[in-house]
Amino acid sequence: MPSITKITRAALAAVALFLPLTHAGPHKHCKDTTRQLSCSGTSTNTCCISSPYGLFQQVQFWDTSPATGPPDSWTIHGLWPNACNGSYSEDCDSTRAYTNITELLIEDGQEEVLKFMKKYWISDDESDEAFWEHEWKTHGTCISTLEPECYEEYQTGEEAVDFFRTVVGLFRALPTYSWLAEANITPSATQSYPLASLNAVLGQAFGKPVVLLCQDTDVVYEIYYGFNTEGPVSDGNFIPAENEGSVTNCPDLVRYLPKGNSSSAGEERPSRSDVLEKGNSAKHHEL
């Protein structure tokens, strides 16, 4: 199975696929010597080191009813920053709550990113554009290295483009469905799997423990992959990390349903705060 180093390189390679040659990029003042690992201490250079929210969770969906995305792939939920202990803020800058994500991507020459998002970053209950706008507004605006002042010759919206390129690149390096399938864990309408088996397979492939979430008591529907960063989110290294402050709500035996199958209970999905450890004093919001 891939080591932490291999996963990190794969993630960076995937991100690089979406960096056009004409994109000069921000953070030219961030030298290698300043690329401290996020969550390893306090930093005043928040353009080069993600702070105070330095733990990033790449979150993926397994939507079965209604089904979204290809039958053999999980889909993107987002990239969520938190303060390394499970606490977090949301909606950090209302002045950058862009309502034209599609337009921003096209203007920056990111048609391939947009095409990928239309296939793998899709909503089950609203327009895809509205979903993307929500993820940027709620989570992307809280990433310190994507602040406008961190860019040279800043142009409105370019930090949002960097956010979406980065999330797509990370997702491409985290093939949840394939990792499980290689261990003969495939969607089934009749079979249940030990949660420990899924955790072991995915944790070994990723290099750190993951957090799986369930709805309708025992139906797997979401996963959290944790990362720290070295350098800015837009062009730094993503290092697999513990999902500090997040815990599973799944039982010991879980169902991994095929897309198109519905569970019987029809319970609502847990919110982000439902998977945080008790005692977290952060203010929680709906996802």
Domain boundaries, the chain: 4-21+32-275
- The four Cα atoms 134, 10, 67, 98 give a dihedral, to 10 degrees, of 10
User: Could you give the CA distance from residue 186 to residue 1 in angstroms, rounded to a whole number?
Assistant: 18
Q: In CATH, which superfamily holds the domain spanning 4-21+32-275?
A: Ribonuclease T2-like (3.90.730.10)
For residue 152, with 0-12 CB atoms within 10 Å meaning exposed, 13-18 middle and 19 or more buried, which class applies? exposed
pLDDT-derived band at 27, boundaries 50, 70, 90: low
In this predicted structure, the answer to whether residue 75 has a pLDDT above a threshold of 70 is: yes
The pLDDT tens digits for 211-236 are 999 999 999 999 999 999 999 999 89
pLDDT for the residue 268: 56
Peptide bond into 52 cis (omega under 30): yes
d(CA 179, CA 212): 14
Stronger pLDDT, 29 or 56, i.e. the higher one:
56
What is the value of pTM for the model shown?
0.86
Closest CA to 164 of 215, 104, 217: 104
Q: What's the confidence (pLDDT) of residue 13?
A: 47
Compute the average pLDDT of residues 262-281. Answer: 48
Q: Which of 58, 235, 44, 39 has its CA nearest to residue 151?
A: 235
For residue 194, is pLDDT > 50? yes
User: What pLDDT band is residue 16 in, cutting at 50, 70 and 90?
Assistant: very low
Q: Does the structure show a pLDDT above 80 at 177?
A: yes
List, by residue number, the catalytic residues. 77, 135, 139
How many Å apart are CA 131 and CA 38, to the nearest integer?
27
